[in-house]
Amino acid sequence: MKIRRIMTLQMFAALALAVSFTSCSKKGSSKGGSQATGWKINDKKGGFQYNDKFKKQETPPGMVAVEGGTFTMGKVEDDVMHDWNNTPNQQHVQSFYMDETEVTNMMYAEYLFWLKTVFPPADENYKNIYTGALPDTLVWRNRLGYNETMTNNYLRHPAYGSYPVVGVNWIQATEFSKWRTDRVNEAILEREQYLKKDAKVNEVDASNTFSTEAYLASPSTARGGSEDIVYRGKGGKKGKNAKPQTTKEGKTIEPKNVFAQRSSGIILPEYRLPTEAEWEYAAVSLGGIREYNIYKGKKKYPWNGQYTRNGKRAQRGDQLANFKQGKGDYGGVAGWSDDGADITNKVKSYAPNDFGLYDMAGNVAEWVQDVYRPMVDDEANDFNYFRGNVYTKNKIGDDGKVEMVTSENVKYDTLSNGKVMARNFPGQIAQVPVDENETYLRYNFSTSDNRNYRDGDKQSTRYFKFADSDESAGDKKTVDSKRMYDSPKHQISVDSLGTMKRQFDKSSKRTTLVNDDARVYKGGSWRDRAYWLDPASRRYYPQDMATDYIGFRCAMSKVGPKDNKKKPRG
């Protein structure tokens, strides 16, 4: 009995000691201190700066959140064309944000206005920046149709301001996305008082522009290196620089790490075109494809049901999208219009899908990021699938610093159709392909350009011998004859007088239009029959050409948790 009482007292003492140690441990961890070192974090005098109060990524302007998940990518119904490029495969997509609507004429006009203001086309150094971004309004012309009204008015007239922009090629859509990234982050940094208020409007020119990546790489050189615009620390309410601190002796303490950084948590990821997998997943949406945590698939349209007409009592019989009803029927009979449009229609004219996205079927088809290949290689990857990665890095100059693009070294590309476009804008960081420093002894990637990985490169052909090197494969003519995708190769050049020479590929032996510059576009358009409204449908078009039925919308990756809301059970 005595022994048991002694053991009980010992156990109680041990428990009390453990509690004491635990409480000491909690008491010893200083508030705001590092769990690794105990040093103070976010000290105004300098040291390690980190946003430890970050909650979640703010919703980007014009976008809605799309929670990621698994889905069956590819045709699951009505594959009447037996098109083997839509073979169903299981994919998983991470959460992301997507534009609520297609990019409109008004949104694109804002982009053109900014370019024209900052890079005046009258200046010889910049004329191709603005003209290279202009949509091709001649896409509306038809040999046997009168469409001059759209040719002259569709892009600019306010009657079409809320209509989706067309005549934009894939490259232009990509450049718009980059521009949008910089303008949105510039506004955020201004709001958070890292940039001078209204300087983005009143104090901007070709030598004084904002680039997100340039700011992150070298904040002190952003906006032309002006300390009156780019603040070393948050400005005061009046927009002035943070007051410098001094020691007891009166010596100024130079602030450290006071520019906004990735770790500040306020700079948004880049706007970009959605991947094909993201676009298709967002278009299919959630309704009718799952039962609890079981994926059922079998969905034909972005809405529930097997028909294109509305079944609800108030709108019964109305078309749920803007598409071609039949031969010579683009919008129905006057006075009883089926879809309310003959060409494109205002965005938000039809009900959104379950993710809150409008016009994921009809109105205009949309560019996505992917390079086209007939197959989706789900054996190689089934997570965030994307074909088209071309990895680059910041170019380092002879002085060891990142090389900025200026009016003197801006590069222009002449596209296959003769259009001249700027590869980058002054104020951005010049880019070069990654090299052996990034690829050596890696298993996940080995080259900068991965567009034709496992489908179209030499290693994907039946002629490839793993023991041979590229040099031992024979001369270029032999290698070209064994290419998987022998699309036409049109040549374009500019002579010393500036005259452009175009040489068309007249070969009769070409068997395909597919190459590394053929991009996927998704969804049906106002010109398409209902078959193409299926989110799984996929077609391709040259990335440097435009049409009157292809537009685009932007996406943005979501950082942090898959979803911020607690899931209901059931």
In order of their start, the domains of the chain are: 56-207+267-388+517-563 (3.90.1580.10), 391-450 (no CATH), 452-515 (no CATH)
Contact 247, 292 (CB under 8 A): no
* Amino acid (one-letter) located at 148: E
Q: What is the pLDDT of residue 24?
A: 47
pLDDT at residue 568 tops 90: no
Give the end-to-end CA distance of the chain in Å, rounded to a whole number: 56
Mean pLDDT throughout 39-57? 84
pLDDT at residue 466 tops 70: no
With cut-offs at 50, 70 and 90, classify the pLDDT of residue 504. confident
Q: What is the pLDDT of residue 115?
A: 96
Integer Cα distance of 199 and 220 in angstroms:
16
Averaged pLDDT score across all residues of the chain: 84
Integer Cα distance of 312 and 318 in angstroms:
9
Considering only 283-292, 377-386, 483-492, 501-510, which range has the smallest mean pLDDT?
283-292
Q: What is the pLDDT of residue 255?
A: 54
pLDDT digits (tens, 9 = 90+) for 330-381: 988 888 778 889 999 999 999 999 999 999 999 999 999 999 998 888 888 9
pLDDT at residue 63 tops 60: yes
Percent of the chain at pLDDT exceeding 70: 80
Residue, of 6 and 90, whose pLDDT is higher: 90
Q: Which of 66-70, 101-105, 288-292 has the highest mean pLDDT?
A: 101-105
pLDDT digits (tens, 9 = 90+) for 135-163: 999 999 999 999 999 999 999 999 999 99
521 - beta bridge partners?
Answer: 367, 539
Percent of the chain at pLDDT exceeding 90: 48
pTM of the model as a whole? 0.88
Q: What DSSP designation does 325 have?
A: -
Q: What is the pLDDT of residue 324?
A: 95
Task: Produce one character per residue of 459-480: b if its CB has 16 or more CB atoms within 10 Å, e if not.
Answer: ebeeeeeeeeeeeeeeeeeeee
C-alpha dist (Å) from residue 55 to 34, 59, 259, 367, 470: 19, 12, 20, 33, 51
3-state secondary structure of 294: strand
State the number of CA atoms in the 13 A half-sphere of 115 facing the CB. 25
397 CB-near residues (< 8 Å, 6+ apart): 403
Q: What is the pLDDT of residue 33?
A: 82
Backbone angles phi, psi at 175, to 5 degrees: -65, -35
3-state secondary structure of 318: coil
Considering only 224-238, 242-256, 272-286, which range has the smallest mean pLDDT?
242-256
Integer Cα distance of 460 and 480 in angstroms:
14
By C-alpha distance, which of 268, 370, 298, 260 is closest to 534? 298
